[in-house]
Structure formats: structure tokens, C-alpha cells
Structure 1
Amino acid sequence: MEEIYVDMKPPKAADPKRSRNQTGPRSSQRSFHSVILCLGLLSVFLLVGLIVLGVLYRDSAADLSATKENLTKERDRLQTLSKQKKTCPAGWKMFSCSCYLLSNESGSWNKSREDCRSKGADLVVINSAEEQTFLSTFTNKPTWIGLNDIQTEGTWMWVDGTPLTQSYWSTNQPDNGGGSDQWGEEDCATIRNSENTLWNDLPCTSYLQWICEKLP
């Protein structure tokens, strides 16, 4: 029995170098192919990205160019309009940005307003001390302006619907006739009175000249 065990030899161990030599080339080849594939995919993605960016840049540049062109045209249009000399119709006088016309006839306040509106205007609305000074030299006698308190006594309104905030009433005016039945209700305003160039209230049925105002 002892001899049998002595004669038996252990199996030879696998040569590690040989194993490496058998698997190494295949593994390296697969890794190389994987790297090539990844690089190829990366190149494709980069190319697609560059194409997308190029398209977006082209569209943005076109939009920017169109916007710039439109702004330039609008600027040129506004400059042309601002350079155009605005004039008033024949017989009208210009002051500041408005045209004014003193009527050749006399009539009630309502008739005067109808006449102004038939001319594309309305009775004058006085907005500044400069306009008041101009209009006081525009006429030399009491003349209708676009101011009244017809709707509510004591609440004076301009014909454009704005309330009176800056006034140029003569002393003790408006007085609504001073409470005398002789004159009746005085609900319409004039520029100038018998004493000065300030405002006065008179019955709206009085026959006076009037001042129309409109834009050029």
C-alpha cells in the first residue's frame, strides 16, 4: 500500500503565463473596440450638437437682424414725422401745439360750441397761464370759452370733461348773476369782461363771439 501512494504524482498546476497569453489578446481587442465605439458615439453627439447650435445661432441672428431693421424703420418714421412742420388751416392761429380760431359772428354758448365742432374743433380749453395770456390778446371783448357749470351749479367743467383746476376769474367772479333775477342763471364762462382780461360768468344765451381750438 505504501508503494502505491509513493508512485502517485500530483497533477501539474496550470501555467499562469500560458493562461494570460490565451486570454490577454481577446480582452485587449474587446477594450479597444469599446473605446473606438465610445469615441465614435461621442463624435456623433458632438456633431449633432454643433449642427443644432448652428441652426439656433442662424435663427437668432436672423431674428435679431429683423428686429433691428424694424426698429430702424420705426425710428426713421418717427423722425420724419417730427420734422414735418405742423401748420394750422387758413384763418387759424397756432400757439404751442394747438390751433385757435376767433369767430366772425356772435351767438349763444351752445351755438358757439356747435360751430366749433362742425370745424373738427371745440370751444377752447385753457390749461396754462401762457395760454391764458395768449388768448387774452386774441380777443378784445368778452368771448365764450369752453367752461360751464350747467350740470351742477358751482362745479365748473371744461368741454373735454375735465374739472376746472387752474382758474383766472375776475374779482368776485363767478357770482351766478349775484342772485339777481335780472340776469338769470350765469352758467357759461367768458374770457375778458368789461374791466379786464380775466374770466366772467354770463347767461349761456348771451350773444358773444367764441374761440375754437383744435390740434393741427
Structure 2
Amino acid sequence: MTCCGLHSAIPFGDQSAMGPQRALFLLLGLLLLGLLRPARLVAGDGEGWWYATSVAEDIVAAGQTVEFSQVPLVTCAAYAGHSSWAQLFCHRDGLCVLSEQAVVRDNSTGSGDLMPCWTKHPPSSCFPPFEDAGEAGCFYLPESKMTWFAGRDHCKSLGADLAVPTDFGAFRTYATNANLPQDVWLGIYDQEWLNGSRVARALWARGDPDGPPQDCGRKYNSVIADARCSETWYFLCEIK
């Protein structure tokens, strides 16, 4: 397994100082982990929950990672619990990988084999860099511009997808307050939201939708406009 590069040595604190009560606590958590899946594991300082998931290798490898070879699962969990930056840890065949990737549970997007992992974030949690926008949703606007499909892949690598606001009025308020760019890709393809519902006619800009080849939708000021999916705009990710 060579999916993840060793970037730097990360201090995890004095592992020898782990007392017998903490070690027992970790062991009990791991026993539960082996019996129940998805399960929750308490690691490190005993204050944080880790949620079982399966994550594609390329997502695990993205960003800052550190590897340990021939490490038992209980030790891998302890390393993750003592790390100040790890959002995810994975363990397979003695390989322990800590990653800064903040993914939610049951995230199976990406490519490559799935690894058994544990994440700090339960389903539907709104965590940095995502911002809780109340009724509007939980959003993150990356700083780069991409095509619609590339932007969607990037959102999926974070355990999210292109934004599909359930309350567009609340979304308009959020977009104004957050000072979103004029043009931002949303989760609209072929005049439908990614959840399968049709985009309401009242939301479209005057003259839109035009239809093929302008098959992808974006926020355009306070309304929606379609465009060629190959165009590059900012894009908005959302965790459901």
C-alpha cells in the first residue's frame, strides 16, 4: 500500500505517559468498533468521537498525511487522538495513515480501493472549512475556479457535493451576507437540481434556460443562469 506519502514527523505527545485507565478506555472502544460497524471509537483524550467509514485511497492521500508501518489499530487510534491536526485515520494490514482530510462518515467518493477509516465528523455535521448558514445550508466556497464537473469532483473529495439549497430565499440572503461572487456553479444539470427536482421557472434569469449545450447551472447575482459545463467559475460545495 503506497497511497500516502510521509510528509513530516508529527509529534503526538508522550505515548508512554498514557495511563492504564486511558489504555483500557481505548481498548473497550476498539472492541465495540470490531463488533459494530459503523461504530464509534473514543481515542486520545477521551473527549472526541471517531466515526467508522470507508474512504477511497486518493482522498486519504490528499493534503497532509503521515504513515506508520506495522502498527496495531489501538496504537493508530492513539496517534490520531493525540494529533492536533488529524481529521481522519485509516488502518489496513498494519499500515496506519493519519490525514488532515475532513470527510464525513460513509464517504465512498474518489478513486482507488476503499480503506477502513475513522473520521471526527458525523454525517451531516457542518465543520470547517464549511460554514453553517442556518436554513440556507452548510457551504464552502473554494478559492479556485473550475469547470462544473471538476468543481463537483472537488466537492465530493470533501464528502460534499455542489450546493442544492432547499430554501432559495434563505440562500439569497446568505449569498448577499457572505459576499459570494456574481457567478458560482451550483448543483444544477440539465435544468434539474442534483436531487432530481426541476429548477423552478421563477428562479431563472430572463432568457434562461437556453438548453443544450448550456447544460449546467450557476448562481448569477440573485437568480440562476445556465452555461456550458466547460466554462470555469467559482463553485459552491454543500454538506447535506
**What is the TM-score when the length of structure 1 is the normalising length?**
0.47
The structure whose RCO (Cα within 8 Å, separation 6+) is larger is 1
Q: Report which of the two has the higher share of helix.
A: 1
Q: Report which of the two has the higher share of strand.
A: 2
